[in-house]
């Protein structure tokens, strides 16, 4: 498989709880220290997003979405001064949380929970926040998924809960793909996902995950992508945050507890790297 598929196969979403948020007038919502991954998409109306540790708000447009990982905080609001309510997942009974007065802004929001035994170091590959704009040429499929997710939340069809769960997973994967594509169009950002967009390091990552039986060395990878060993190692660390030889220790975590099949996937993933 490819690197992104390998990581998500090991993580395997344990649960995805999603609902709709309807807001109007003056309103604000804040969240912090969330477990695993929080995902929001703006369906309609005005909205500001203030990411963790920044004073620069983002004006969201309909169809934009973002994911928050590793306990990063965020603030969603109609303006920058309204006192914020703490983010709590919508009640499962109706799946709608109302903020402020009236309506005008509609969002989809929820949480992905992963198996604790497998998720620790792998979630570290995710950026604290990724933001995907609906105006990007390649975001057509993501917009379609979000519209379908909104439709399912609004209608009581047979199999609704399962459909929402699966659509949410596909939406997360689509957002991750769009994030990588956006990195390809600019200077790759630091982090494992950003590294996938780098011409040299991305090619090396794909080679490793395509030929899992091969015992790769750093020199092998550098030669395969036309770089010296030293320049490859430096470039790898500047993007991923860890050197190629540091990853095996980072991945040597407790075994997955949920199933032998998932443990086998996790061992395979670690085995790709521990040969370096």
pTM for this structure?
0.75
pLDDT at 188: 58
- Between 131 and 255, the more confident residue is 131
CB 222 within 8 A of CB 232: yes
- Higher pLDDT, residue 66 or 71: 66
Whether the pLDDT of residue 91 is over 50: the answer is no
With a cut of 80, say whether residue 105 has pLDDT above it.
yes
pLDDT of 222 > 80? The answer is yes
Q: With pLDDT > 70 as the criterion, what percentage of the chain qualifies?
A: 74
Q: CB burial class (10 A; 0-12, 13-18, 19+) of residue 145?
A: buried
**Ramachandran area for residue 12 (φ above 0: left; ψ -120 to 50: alpha; else beta):** left
- How remote is the C-alpha of 85 from its chain's centroid? 24
pLDDT attached to residue 14: 72
Q: Which of 106-110, 117-121, 162-166, 204-208 has the lowest mean pLDDT?
A: 117-121
pLDDT tens across 238-265, in order? 887 777 666 545 554 545 555 554 454 4
In this prediction, residue 58 carries a pLDDT of 93
Confidence band for 189, pLDDT divided at 50, 70 and 90: low
3-180 folds as Jelly Rolls (2.60.120)
117-128 average pLDDT score: 65
Domains of the chain, by residue range, sit at 3-180, 198-274
pLDDT recorded at residue 245 = 62
- Of residues 68 and 187, which shows the higher confidence score? 68
pLDDT, average across residues 127-134: 83
Residue 156 pLDDT: 84
Distance CA 228, CA 11 (A): 33
**Residues facing 17 on adjacent strands:** 111
When mean pLDDT is compared across 85-89, 148-152, 176-180, 259-263, the lowest value belongs to 259-263
pLDDT digits 0-9 by tens, 4-20 = 777 777 666 777 788 88
Cβ 214 vs Cβ 221: under 8 Å: no
Phi, psi of 93 (to 5 degrees): -65, -40
Whether residue 42 is predicted with pLDDT greater than 90 in this model: the reply is yes
Dihedral Cα 217, 223, 225, 231, nearest 10 deg: 80
Mean pLDDT, the chain, integer: 78
């Amino acid at each position: 498989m490819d690197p992104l598929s390998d990581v998500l196969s090991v993580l395997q979403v344990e649960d995805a709880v999603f609902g709709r948020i309807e807001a109007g007038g003056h309103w604000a919502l804040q969240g912090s220290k969330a477990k695993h991954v929080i995902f929001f998409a703006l369906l309609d109306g005005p909205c500001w997003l203030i990411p963790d540790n920044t004073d620069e708000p983002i004006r969201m447009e309909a169809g934009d979405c973002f994911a928050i990982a590793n306990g990063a905080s965020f603030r969603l609001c109609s303006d920058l001064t309204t006192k914020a309510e703490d983010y709590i997942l919508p009640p499962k009974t109706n799946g709608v949380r109302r903020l402020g007065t009236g309506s005008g802004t509609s969002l989809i929001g929820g949480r992905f929970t992963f198996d604790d035994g497998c998720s620790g170091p792998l979630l570290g590959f995710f950026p604290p926040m990724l933001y995907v704009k609906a105006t990007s040429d390649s975001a057509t499929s993501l917009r379609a998924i979000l519209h379908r997710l909104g439709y399912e939340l609004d209608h009581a069809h047979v199999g609704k809960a399962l459909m929402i769960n699966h659509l949410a997973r596909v939406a997360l994967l689509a957002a991750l793909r769009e994030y990588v594509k956006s990195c390809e169009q600019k200077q790759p950002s630091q982090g494992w996902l950003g590294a996938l967009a780098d011409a040299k390091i991305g090619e090396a990552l794909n080679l490793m995950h395509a030929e899992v039986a091969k015992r790769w060395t750093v020199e092998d990878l550098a030669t395969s992508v036309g770089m010296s060993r030293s320049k490859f190692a430096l470039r790898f660390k500047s993007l991923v945050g860890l050197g190629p030889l540091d990853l095996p220790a980072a991945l040597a975590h407790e075994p997955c507890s949920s199933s032998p099949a998932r443990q086998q996937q996790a061992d395979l993933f670690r085995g790709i790297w521990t040969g370096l």
